[in-house]
Structures are given as structure tokens and as C-alpha cells.
Amino acid sequence: MKKQNLAWITGVIALLPFAYGMGATALIRKTRYRITQQLDERKGIALTFDDGPHPVYTMQLLDLLKRYQIKATFFVLGQNVRQYPNVVERMHKEGHQIGIHHDRHTSSWLLTPSQLSHEIKETHRAIVNVTGESPILYRPPWGLLNAATLFVTKPYQIILWSHVFQDWKIESCKSGLLEGLRNTPAEGSIVLLHDDGTNRGADDEAPAYMLDRLSIYLEEAVAEGVEFVPVNGLKR
């Protein structure tokens, strides 16, 4: 084989992992194919919470949502569902929508197609075991996709977000979260928040600060007549 050809082939092979993860994420998110990141033709804000359920923070959050009769959407980790089924049971009973995050908080960039499928199936199973209902929504951790995502997640609607405020960091909760929430358009936004801070890159106690700011915001927003809706049934 000519040296030139060998260099070319080596180059292509070296780039494959980037194409599989980063390239696929950029392409799919740019085309927005099967991706929902904004609500259409429906007034309101969808509050979505990732990474739970957490035995303390998710319960406090459910109390808060109940106070204002708000239905939200939770993207849960399968391992947490198995650990805290009572929290998910309550979530379901109180009318919130439950979608799939992953079984563990893993990046799709590091998962083979069969590992990705396993993450999703395990979480699906964990949710069904508690609620008796099949989830129809999927949100990948960090919003990262891979070249197999569209194929593996065919039965689900992929939900990203329009507004995120780094609420996994205590500092961001203190400095910009309340202002960010107040500035979120009341029509069609999908807000991403977190009810568990134990994952990589997050502060363990951040959900306590998130809950504090969210409760201030909800009191104001509900008084102003802002509507909050679960993601369910929304068009792409």
C-alpha cells in the first residue's frame, strides 16, 4: 500500500470516534431531525427536571409543584428509579410525566450502539416496573447524541431544551438562576433544571439552591398567570 493511502486511511480511522459522537451530535442538533427543544402552538412553559429521582430533593420539588398544581416532566436515571421507587410512584400518581435519561449518567459519545440500547431499555423497564406505563420521551445526558441515537431511540421523542441556567452549580443558582427564570418567555419554552446534584460536574447541594430560587419564581409566575405544562403531546 502506498504511504499516502495509508496516511489517508489512518486519518479517517482516527476521525471516526469524533464523527460517531461529536459529529453526530452537531449534525442531528443542527438539522433538528426528531429533536424537540421548543414547544409549538401551545402557551406555557414546560419545566423539566433531570438526573433524579433524589430521595430528598425530588420529594421537596414534588411538594412545591403540588402547592401550585403544576405538572412537570422528569427525565430519570434507571439506577435511581430502582433505588427510590417510592419517589417515582409519587411522581406518577401526582400526574407528572416521566421520561428516560439513561440508566447511569453516561455520555452517548462513550457508548456503543448496544450499550446505548441497554441504557435506554433498563431505564424503560425500571419506569414501567414502578408506574405500569411506558415512557415515550428520551433526553440524553448533557444532550449528547451518537451516530446510533436516532436508530436506537426510534420509539421515543427526543426532548432537549430552550433554556438552561447551569443550576447544577451552587454559584450559578445564587447568581443567575432566578433572573434567568424570570426572563424565560412564557410561551413555548422548555426549561431544563436538575433535582439531583450527585453526577459528575455537579454540586451535591445545588438542588437545594435551585429549589429555593424556583419557589420564589413560581410564586411570582403563577400570580402573573404563567401556565406550566408537561412536555407530553406537544408537536415538534
Amino acid at 120: I
Q: Which three cell numbers stand for residue 17?
A: 470516534
Could you confirm whether 194 is annotated as catalytic?
yes
Q: Which listed range, 44-52, 90-98, 112-120, 206-214, lies at the site for Zn ion (CB under 5 A)?
A: 44-52
| Site pattern 5..24 for Zn ion (x: CB under 5 A) | --------------------
Q: How many residues bind Zn ion (CB under 5 A)?
A: 3
Q: Which listed range, 1-9, 49-57, 127-135, 168-176, lies at the site for Zn ion (CB under 5 A)?
A: 49-57
How near is the Cβ of 37 to Zn ion at its closest, in Å?
15
User: Coil, strand or helix: which one is 165?
Assistant: coil
Pick from 50, 103, 195, 196 the residue near Zn ion by CB under 5 A: 50
β strands within the chain, DSSP E: 35-36, 44-50, 73-76, 97-100, 137-138, 157-159, 163-164, 187-194
Residue closer to Zn ion by CB (options 211, 221) is: 211
Angle at 107 between CA 105 and CA 112, to 5 degrees: 115
195 binding Zn ion? (CB under 5 A): no
Residue closer to Zn ion by CB (options 44, 79) is: 79
52 binding Zn ion? (CB under 5 A): no
How near is the Cβ of 42 to Zn ion at its closest, in Å?
25
| Catalytic, out of 54, 96, 102, 194 | 194
Residue closer to Zn ion by CB (options 122, 226) is: 122
Residue closer to Zn ion by CB (options 60, 198) is: 198
Pick from 51, 122, 195, 196 the residue near Zn ion by CB under 5 A: 51
Cα dist from 159 to 65, 97, 165, 214, whole Å = 21, 12, 17, 21
Query: How many other C-beta atoms can be found within 10 angstroms of the C-beta atom of residue 93?
Result: 10
How near is the Cβ of 196 to Zn ion at its closest, in Å?
8
Angle at 132 between CA 127 and CA 136, to 5 degrees: 60
In the chain, % helix, strand, coil (3-state, to 5) comes to 50, 15, 35
Q: What is the DSSP string of 176-232?
A: IIHHHHHTS-TEEEEEEEES---STTS-TTHHHHHHHHHHHHHHHHHHTT--B--ST
Cα 52 from Cα 93, distance rounded (Å):
17
How near is the Cβ of 12 to Zn ion at its closest, in Å?
32
Q: Which listed range, 136-144, 172-180, 207-215, 223-231, lies at the site for Zn ion (CB under 5 A)?
A: 136-144
Could you confirm whether 195 is annotated as catalytic?
no
141 binding Zn ion? (CB under 5 A): yes
Note whether 146 and 124 are within 8 A (CB): no
Residue closer to Zn ion by CB (options 78, 141) is: 141
Which residues of the chain form contacts with Zn ion (CB under 5 A)?
Answer: 50-51, 141
